[in-house]
Amino acid sequence: MRVVAEFGSLRPGKTLSRTPVALGRPLDRHISAVTVSSPPGLELPLHTHVQSDDFFIILKGTAAVVFEQNRKEVLRAGDSVWVPAGCPHGLQSGPRGVIEVGFQCPPDKAPLSLVGVRSRGLPLVQPAHLSAAPGTWSSLIGKRKSRIAVHVAKLRRGQTLNVRRHDTPSILLVLTGGAIVGGHTLGALSLATLDPAAAAQITAIKPSTLLLRVAPTARPSNQASQRTGRRPAIHGRAPRVAGR
């Protein structure tokens, strides 16, 4: 396990910033991560990740995710959005600004694509709660065909949860509370990478610990994408994250 980012001390600045997170090899061959900090009232215009599925979660502040035809959904800290490749989306920061972290699979390190934005289907908003099951992992994306697998879990103080060995490395984000993983202590809003070759045990050290795990999956076929419509989904609400 390796800690790659600590978001707890971040505050929205006076200008928009997009900061790549250095995930390291071999994970950065499969997925990219970027932190976006936006001051109050700023709008990130409609854009697409042409080849990549995008998943992002609000860490601090509030925002509105914007789709085509000016369709908007308000997001608070702990709310997450999954957007399939090629689907236009933007972000408008709230009155106190916003900080979010996003993951793209396959990696997308190119500048935002603002020209020739095309949708593969009408956006679909899923008003599902970030319903983490106690003591076990549950999927945030469900049965949707996605290049990104996202799971969430909640633990009580002293409760443990295993991360089994898997084919690809993964990312662990502690949203609330705190945990010990492989002898390392992770506080709220800590981001770490997990080695696929070794099983890991997570032990909660705070009364209410909410965990998010992100990993790349096999790329779905075009036929499967067309069948499912590959529409964006929004998930909320989670327990409060620091900085609300």
- Give pLDDT tens digits for 168-201: 789 999 999 999 998 899 999 999 999 877 778 9
Task: For residues 160 and 180, give the distance between their C-alpha atoms in angstroms, rounded to a whole number.
Answer: 9
Q: What domain count does the chain have?
A: 2
- Give pLDDT tens digits for 69-99: 888 999 988 899 999 888 889 999 999 999 9
Q: Please tell me whether residues 73 and 174 are part of one structural domain.
A: no
* Whether the predicted pLDDT of 23 surpasses 70: yes
Q: Please tell me whether residues 80 and 164 are part of one structural domain.
A: no
pTM (whole model) above 0.75: yes
Q: Which helix (H) or strand (E) holds 112?
A: none
Q: Please tell me whether residues 13 and 123 are part of one structural domain.
A: yes
Is residue 29 domain-resident? yes
- Give pLDDT tens digits for 1-14: 899 999 999 999 88
* Whether the predicted pLDDT of 33 surpasses 90: yes
Is residue 3 domain-resident? no
Bridge partners, residue 201, by sequence: 162
Q: Would you state the pLDDT for residue 67?
A: 87
Q: Please tell me whether residues 19 and 103 are part of one structural domain.
A: yes
Q: Please tell me whether residues 52 and 80 are part of one structural domain.
A: yes
Is residue 109 domain-resident? yes
Instruction: Provide the CATH number for the domain around residue 151.
Output: 2.60.120.10
* Whether the predicted pLDDT of 115 surpasses 70: no
* Whether the predicted pLDDT of 29 surpasses 70: yes
List, in sequence order, every beta strand (DSSP E) within 106-169: 133-134, 138-139, 148-155, 160-163
Tokens 């949707």 sit at which residue?
A: 144
Q: Please tell me whether residues 115 and 148 are part of one structural domain.
A: no
Q: Please tell me whether residues 123 and 160 are part of one structural domain.
A: no
Q: Please tell me whether residues 145 and 183 are part of one structural domain.
A: yes
- Give pLDDT tens digits for 201-226: 999 999 989 999 999 985 444 433 44
Q: Please tell me whether residues 90 and 202 are part of one structural domain.
A: no
Is residue 242 domain-resident? no
Vertex 89 angle, CA 121 and 91, to 5°? 155
- Give pLDDT tens digits for 129-181: 456 888 998 888 878 888 999 889 999 999 999 887 666 789 999 999 999 99
Is residue 30 domain-resident? yes
Residues in the chain: 244
Q: Please tell me whether residues 110 and 29 are part of one structural domain.
A: yes
DSSP 3-68: EEEE-TT----SS-EEEE----TTGGGT-EEEEEEE-TT-EEEEEB-SS-EEEEEEEEEEEEEEEG
Range of the domain at 15: 8-128+223-235
Q: Please tell me whether residues 69 and 113 are part of one structural domain.
A: yes
